[in-house]
Amino acid sequence: MVITTIKTRIVRPPRDNIFDVIFHAIKKIPEKSILVVTSKIVSIGEGQCIPISKYPDKDILVAKEADWYLPRKATPGAWCMHTLKNNIFIPSAGIDVSNANGYYILWPKHPKHSAKKLWIALRKKYRVKKIGVIISDSHTIPLRRGVLGISLAHYGFEPLKDYRFTPDLFGRPFEMTFTNIADGITTTAVMLMGEGKESTPLALVTDIPWVKFTNKPYKSKKSDSSFEIKTKEDLYYPLLSAVKWKKGNGGRS
């Protein structure tokens, strides 16, 4: 697998044309590639930006955007609000103020639709049949310092590799193991793209013959092979259910 970060011009809030940005920065995309696009520029492209002056108290906006949230006082040091949004456990409903020039940058309104829209445009522009798209962001994991990349949405490839019922080195069949391809690729790409002023919001991933590309949205045949897991079925549900979540507005007007 080869990951190449791509430098672009500055993408400016509150709105910019990210197709112009992408098409200017990338001259060619090989077949069987995946383009990782940071959610920040997707959001700017969709105008998902709000002046900070409109919400001097960021917590009000977080509660408005989150599906579920915990008040700031529930976090050690009260440095953020824990939230659930789009079936993802993420601080502050994904709202970002870095590299935002005085705006809050929200997540794309419908990340899956945004990923498909990018996929259609890339296939047409670069005349490729097999291509994948990932919309990325950064998040934290418990008991580890620092951020990692996560896929908010993907399109054009199957996000899981199923090892269940296949034998290990000693013939014992795997019972539960999947490889998370979408987040695995995103983690490495985001690390290389950087978190500061690198101005590399794109990463092209090539030489990945083990990824299965598709022209349709990924749909699992059974509930136990879905990419997303319902909260009550999740391995960490005992932890998620041990706190008193408050209902957010889910980004609705």
CA distances from 166 to 52, 162, 175, 203 (A): 52, 9, 8, 33
CA proximity to 105, closest of 203, 11, 191? 11
- CB-based contact 113:155 (threshold 8 Å): no
Q: Retrieve residue 101's tokens.
A: 């020039």
pLDDT at 196: 93
Say whether pLDDT at 61 is over 90: yes
Residue carrying the six token digits 């013939």: 171
Residue carrying the six token digits 């309104």: 109
Q: Residue 22 corresponds to which amino acid?
A: I
What average pLDDT does range 123-139 have in this prediction? 97
Q: Could you give all domains of the chain from N- to C-terminal order, each with its CATH number?
A: 2-47+107-244 (3.30.1330.100)
pLDDT at 209: 85
pLDDT in tens, 135-170: 999 999 999 999 999 999 999 999 999 899 999 999
- Kindly state the percentage of the chain with pLDDT values over 90: 91
What backbone torsions phi and psi does residue 20 show, to the nearest 5 degrees? -60, -40
210 confidence band (pLDDT: 50, 70, 90): confident
What average pLDDT does range 169-174 have in this prediction? 94
Q: How many CB atoms lie within 10 A of CB 203?
A: 25
- CB-based contact 84:67 (threshold 8 Å): yes
